[in-house]
């Protein structure tokens, strides 16, 4: 709307507000700061960790264990509760992403602002700004609130944190803007936390605090749904399956015990012992340990994981939706092509240091060079100076020989900048750079100082068009020599009858390693998608260079934010698979894109570095922030942060994530097949009326075999070819790929071998007294069930491949875990004193041979089954 209408709507004027009016509005609108968000007390966060179904089952089992033992044997309960509490502590430690993100947003705000109050300029704390305040802005300022510009002079504002656009935007107070224009196209507005890089302006505050664009993003972060991770879904599913299976087995055992004439309390104790044996109580802790070790591996590879389940989620990623600026690109304008002396050259080609185009682009330039060599100024201008340095042009040395004595600053209307330099012969050099369409009107001579013909002009325009079509930002350079400086410096007196020297094309280039990362992602069945606030042509050009879009593909794979606004959620859902690039989008669009892919049952990873990326980072299955260029807001909303801002690191993390899932799957197969063996052994023994195992035996086996070997399986080396397989999909579970059937049959085999050894011990006793015979049989079944699980751990090193192919002794960690567990199991039988505590007897060589023979045979049986599985299922 016109500025006069803006003043009317906000009840203010060019003179701003009075102190009384500002105080009244401050009371009405509140401070110009972001809400801290609702913080949960630590105790609430801790108690919420106990809502998980598996945890509830474990707690009930622990309570029943204490009740049925009348408080005499509480070791089971202590172990179970220790696991539960450790798990809860880990959960609390990992929580609080939204709070951190909001806090980071608060810390970004500008501390002071120059405001017109009571008719004069005053510096006030930006928290005290209110709608209607008139604020002045200069280069180097951070915009303190959302404001409509009422005056501007050569104003450029860098809004990449909000829009994703890498180049500062020229702003005009009198610009006409459509009602549906995106943030990046609102050229008469300045937004909170954006940086003024050039020029000056005066604006009237239109929104403060949570009503600003940054405030809206803060609200979106706060209200964004936490996406349930694939790991959590899988563990919940597993908990439900185990719950019903355990209840059914315990109930049947209890009923059978009563039917056989057993006592009620004794039957309840047997049922609880079965339940404890069936629950893999170490699983939550082992999963946590495996994930924690995965985070350590990733940290060494520059991927810092903020939330443990994110490690596994990475492995199931289907879509990587990546922000362009600073993620796929360098977020640094760079010269790519230069047209000079009638030749179009690549930036890497040789160029003489005295080339006129090179000198003009450096002379007509406001870049400052700090004492330590840093380039300070507009990114476009610093790119030109950097290009000059690469070609051997020492700007400070040249300016000392040819000093600047006058200038005509950049003006957003004429889109030109001119500087005047004193030459040694007494004449002056006028160096001009600017927009090709504006500068060409003022050029009279070609580079060879002949009059510019229509043919030459058309050729220059064609070169300009070709470079622009490649999404390069093109500037033109020209010059002339004058004998004296005009008294009144204007475009008419200084910028006429110029000599053409060249064109320079710049772009925010793609990262060198990003194209290879995109190729690897595609080969792994992962679809890379670019989402950016930049212009369509720029986005499309970068996407083609990276291989996200195939060059020459006739189909349109680019959708703009404006086009997306025209689509309903239902219509967008129908076409979401068609687009790989989204340009000129807002934060709301990013969230829509992520949610649309999630509705397609895809696991979505979203990368980003700006404030504008934060809501989408939080909504995605895994949000990936940038460590170097990223704002604290985007890091706070992320599950993982890239310390090196390297897109290729994501692919490394995906590979690690796939390894983590495979290893957790192996651990679950191992634990559940072992627990199935324990349950079936007790259940079938109850059916036969045998007393094959005491509760203390089950507890010791669980302690020894459910810890070291299970953790060792969780850190197994990666299996070859894992990145050539497609993503496993959202609906895949830990039981996919034949794991369920393998778990059941392997548990049956272990139970059968254990009961077989018990039966043989009774049939062919070493001692003839009934008590000694029973003690030996009990000890042999205990030793067999324990050792058989250790040998079975070798089987689980690969779900389908032979252990001899993957290498049975390849992992030193695994070898040590088996050795330590073997010693702990054997020690309580061999060491005098311990066998009395555990109610076991000494075994002779014949009995040990029987135990070891049965235990080793599990490897032979499983290897045979695997052979036929590979043969008939083509695995």
Q: Are 174 and 187 in contact (CB under 8 A)?
A: no
Residues 693, 393: Cα–Cα separation, whole Å: 85
Residues 874, 868: Cα–Cα separation, whole Å: 9
Place of tokens 């949610």: 595
Task: Please tell me the number of Cα atoms within 13 Å of 191 on its side-chain side.
Answer: 25
Residues 619, 631: Cα–Cα separation, whole Å: 18
122: helix, strand or coil: strand
Surface-to-core class of residue 846, CB atoms within 10 Å of its CB (0-12 exposed, 13-18 middle, 19+ buried): exposed
Sequence-distant (≥ 6) Cβ neighbours of residue 116 within 8 angstroms: 14, 15, 16, 17, 122, 133, 134, 135, 136
Residues 268, 263: Cα–Cα separation, whole Å: 9
List beta partners, residue 146.
207
| CB atoms inside a 10 Å sphere around CB 353 | 12
Tell me, yes or no, if 125 is annotated catalytic: no
DSSP string, 426-475: S-EEEEEEE-HHHHGGGEEE-TTSSBPPHHHHHHHHHHHHHHHHTT-EEE
Angle, alpha carbons 416-422-426 (nearest 5°): 130
549: helix, strand or coil: coil
Sequence-distant (≥ 6) Cβ neighbours of residue 454 within 8 angstroms: none
Query: Residues 346-350: contacts with CB within 8 Å, 24+ apart?
Result: 347/387, 347/390
Tokens read off for 771: 């008590």
Residues 330, 113: Cα–Cα separation, whole Å: 32
Residues 363, 428: Cα–Cα separation, whole Å: 13
DSSP string, 838-870: TT-----HHHHHHHHHHHHHHHHHHHHHHHHHH
Question: Which residue among 133, 323, 446, 534 is the active-site one?
Answer: 323
Angle, alpha carbons 681-685-688 (nearest 5°): 145
Residues 62, 80: Cα–Cα separation, whole Å: 6
Tokens read off for 775: 């003690």
Nearest to 730 by CA among 594, 596, 621: 621
Residues 669, 675: Cα–Cα separation, whole Å: 10
Tokens read off for 836: 């009395």
Q: Does residue 533 come out as left (phi exceeding 0), alpha (psi in the -120 to 50 range) or beta?
A: alpha
378: helix, strand or coil: coil
Place of tokens 């009923």: 255
Tokens read off for 338: 């230069």
Place of tokens 């300022």: 141
Question: Looking at the annotation, which residues are catalytic?
Answer: 323
């Amino acid at each position: 709307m016109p500025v006069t209408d803006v003043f009317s709507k906000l009840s203010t004027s060019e003179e701003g507000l009075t102190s009384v009016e500002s105080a009244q509005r401050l009371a009405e609108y509140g401070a110009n700061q972001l809400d801290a968000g609702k913080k949960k007390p630590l105790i609430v966060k801790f108690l919420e960790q106990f809502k998980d179904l598996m945890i509830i089952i474990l707690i009930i089992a622990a309570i029943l264990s204490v009740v049925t033992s009348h408080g005499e044997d509480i070791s089971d309960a202590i172990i179970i509760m220790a696991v539960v509490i450790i798990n809860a502590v880990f959960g609390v430690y990992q929580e609080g992403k939204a709070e951190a993100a909001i806090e980071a947003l608060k810390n970004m705000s500008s501390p002071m602002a120059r405001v017109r109050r009571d008719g004069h300029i005053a510096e006030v704390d930006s928290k005290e700004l209110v709608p209607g305040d008139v604020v002045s802005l200069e280069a180097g300022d951070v915009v303190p609130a959302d404001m409509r510009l009422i005056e501007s002079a050569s104003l450029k504002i860098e809004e990449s944190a909000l829009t994703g656009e890498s180049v500062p935007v020229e702003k005009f107070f009198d610009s006409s803007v459509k009602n549906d224009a995106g943030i990046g196209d609102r050229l008469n507005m300045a937004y909170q936390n954006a940086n003024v890089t050039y020029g000056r302006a005066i604006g009237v505050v239109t929104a403060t605090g949570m009503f600003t664009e940054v405030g809206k993003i803060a609200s979106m972060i706060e209200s964004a749904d936490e996406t349930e991770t694939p790991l959590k879904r899988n563990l919940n599913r597993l908990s439900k399956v185990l719950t019903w299976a355990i209840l059914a087995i315990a109930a049947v055992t209890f009923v059978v015990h009563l039917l056989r004439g057993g006592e009620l309390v004794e039957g309840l104790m047997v049922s609880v012992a079965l339940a404890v044996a069936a629950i893999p109580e170490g699983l939550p802790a082992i999963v946590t340990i495996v994930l924690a070790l995965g985070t350590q591996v990733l940290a060494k590879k520059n991927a810092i994981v903020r939330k443990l389940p994110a490690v596994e989620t990475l492995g199931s990623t289907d879509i990587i939706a990546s922000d362009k600026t600073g993620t796929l690109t360098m977020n640094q304008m760079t010269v790519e092509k230069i047209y000079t002396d009638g030749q179009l050259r690549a930036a890497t080609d040789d160029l003489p240091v005295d080339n006129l185009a090179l000198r003009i682009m450096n002379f007509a330039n406001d870049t400052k060079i700090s004492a330590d060599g840093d380039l300070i100024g507009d990114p476009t201008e610093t790119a030109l100076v950097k290009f000059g340095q690469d070609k051997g042009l020492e700007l400070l040395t040249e300016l000392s020989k040819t000093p600047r004595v006058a200038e005509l600053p950049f003006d957003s209307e004429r889109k030109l900048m001119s500087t005047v330099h004193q030459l040694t012969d007494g004449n002056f050099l006028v160096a001009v750079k600017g927009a090709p369409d504006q500068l060409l009107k003022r050029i009279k001579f070609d580079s060879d100082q002949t009059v510019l013909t229509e043919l030459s002009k058309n050729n220059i325009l064609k070169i300009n068009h070709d470079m622009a079509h490649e999404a390069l930002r093109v500037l033109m350079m020209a010059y002339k020599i004058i004998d004296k400086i005009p008294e009144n410096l204007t475009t008419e007196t200084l910028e006429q009858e110029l000599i053409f020297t060249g064109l320079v094309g710049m772009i925010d280039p793609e990262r060198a390693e990003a194209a290879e990362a995109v190729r690897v992602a595609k080969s792994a069945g992962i679809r890379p998608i670019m989402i950016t606030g930049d212009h369509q042509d720029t986005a499309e050009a970068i996407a083609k260079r990276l291989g996200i879009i195939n060059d020459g593909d006739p189909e349109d794979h680019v959708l703009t934010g404006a086009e997306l606004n025209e689509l309903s959620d239902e219509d967008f859902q129908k076409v979401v698979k068609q687009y790989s690039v989204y340009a000129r989008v807002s934060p709301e669009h990013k969230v829509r894109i992520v949610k649309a892919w999630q509705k397609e049952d895809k696991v979505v990873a979203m990368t980003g570095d700006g404030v504008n990326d934060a809501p989408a980072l939080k909504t995605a299955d895994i949000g990936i922030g940038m460590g170097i260029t990223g704002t604290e807001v985007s890091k706070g909303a992320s599950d993982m942060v890239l310390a090196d801002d390297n897109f290729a690191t994501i692919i490394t993390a995906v590979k690690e994530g796939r390894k983590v899932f495979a290893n957790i799957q192996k651990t679950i197969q191992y634990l559940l097949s072992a627990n199935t063996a324990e349950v079936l052994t007790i259940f079938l023994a109850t059916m036969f009326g045998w007393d094959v195992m005491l509760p203390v035996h089950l507890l010791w086996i669980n302690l020894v075999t459910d810890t070291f070997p299970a953790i060792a399986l969780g850190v197994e080396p990666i299996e070859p070819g894992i990145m050539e397989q497609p993503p496993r999909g959202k609906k895949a579970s830990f039981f996919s790929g034949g794991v369920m059937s393998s778990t059941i049959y392997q548990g049956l085999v272990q139970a059968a071998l254990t009961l077989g050894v018990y039966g043989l011990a009774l049939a062919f006793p070493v001692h003839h007294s009934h008590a000694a015979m029973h003690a030996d049989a009990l000890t042999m079944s205990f030793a067999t069930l324990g050792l058989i699980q250790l040998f079975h751990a070798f089987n689980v090193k690969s779900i389908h491949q032979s252990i001899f192919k993957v290498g049975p002794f390849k992992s030193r960690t695994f070898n040590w875990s088996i050795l330590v567990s073997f010693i702990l199991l054997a020690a309580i039988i061999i060491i005098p004193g311990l066998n009395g505590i555990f109610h076991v007897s000494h075994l002779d060589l014949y009995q040990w041979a029987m135990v070891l023979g049965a235990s080793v045979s599990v490897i032979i049986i499983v290897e045979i089954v695997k052979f036929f599985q590979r043969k008939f299922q083509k695995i």
